[in-house]
Homo-oligomer: A and B are copies of this chain.
Amino acid sequence: MRWINFSLPGSGRQAYGTLDENDQVREIRGIPWAEHEFTGQRHGLSDVKIEVPVVPPTFYAAGLNYITHIREQEALAGRKVNVPPQADIGYRAVNALVAHEENVVIPEDATHIEYEGELVVVIGKKARNLSEAEAMQCVFGYTIGNDVSERVWQRADRTFWRAKNSDTFKPMGPWMETEFDLARAQTRVSVNGEVKSHFDTGDMLFNIPTFLSRMSRNLTLYPGDIVWMGTDGHSPKLDHGDTVEVDISGLGTLRNTFVRA
């Protein structure tokens, strides 16, 4: 099932709904992973504004989780980047989230912007101390993220605060899908209509159950938390006017245009 977070232009009212094959949105009262009921209201997809699927309590990110991407980062840094020996999760910040079709704003002093197309896991249940076998029980569904990065700042700063968390640097969406076949999924990223990277979405160094199980040994996962699973391949340098589309089989396409501040 496909779940969309939307607002109605004019009223500003925001709600969740299901989205069917005919682009019809069936509005609910409540939250998809908690108590909810259908309101009886329906909307055409083209009549609503798509919002960020969820603003999470905690925004987790795997970071380096595909081998080719690690080698690319190594070339970028001009020094050895170790393959992570264990699934140590990282963090991103909610200020940076923007929805499908919203612009990514390149800061005035930014010089080297790249995309990173990523699978996003949305947590649906409070969970602690999950085994790997149990881990997928806490997953509500999946969406798509673009972990936009400024590589000069990423190399120079002590943290990723502006390299990865500047406002608008975290497009996510367009919606959440509860059924997903990771084993057959491909991630394809295109710039202005031309495919620039594609990789097997499931070809991760540490898979989803490994991350969730390890995280849950020390921390409580909460409904609405999100985990970005990392990226593979290489992005060209992006600039004003570029439109980036991240497509993951079965999940849809996240599209955002980059504009200079």
- Shortest C-beta distance, A63 to chain B (Å), equals 7
Q: Spot the interface stretch: A26-34, A154-162, A181-189, A195-203.
A: A154-162
* A159 in contact with B220 given A57-B94, A58-B94, A95-B57 (CB within 8 Å): no
Question: Is A236 an interface position by the 8 A CB rule?
Answer: no
The interface of chain A, by Cβ under 8 A from chain B, is 55, 57-58, 63, 84, 86, 88-91, 93-96, 107, 128, 157-159, 161-162, 165-167, 215, 217-222
* A218 in contact with B94 given A88-B157, A157-B88 (CB within 8 Å): no
Q: Are A161 and B215 in contact (CB under 8 A)?
A: yes
Chain B residue nearest to A219 (CB atoms) is B95
- Complexed CA–CA distance, A189 and B182 (Å): 50
Q: Are B63 and A96 in contact (CB under 8 A)?
A: no
- Shortest C-beta distance, A160 to chain B (Å), equals 9
Q: Are B159 and A88 in contact (CB under 8 A)?
A: yes
- Complexed CA–CA distance, A221 and B84 (Å): 32
Q: Are B58 and A220 in contact (CB under 8 A)?
A: no
Q: Are B95 and A158 in contact (CB under 8 A)?
A: no
Q: Are A218 and B162 in contact (CB under 8 A)?
A: yes
Q: Are A219 and B93 in contact (CB under 8 A)?
A: yes
- Complexed CA–CA distance, A161 and B215 (Å): 8
Report B-chain residues with C-beta under 8 Å of the C-beta of A219: 93, 95-96, 161-162, 165-167
Report B-chain residues with C-beta under 8 Å of the C-beta of A161: 88-91, 215, 218-219
Q: Are A63 and B218 in contact (CB under 8 A)?
A: no
Report B-chain residues with C-beta under 8 Å of the C-beta of A165: 218-219
- Complexed CA–CA distance, A99 and B203 (Å): 41
Report B-chain residues with C-beta under 8 Å of the C-beta of A166: 218-219
- Complexed CA–CA distance, A57 and B166 (Å): 15
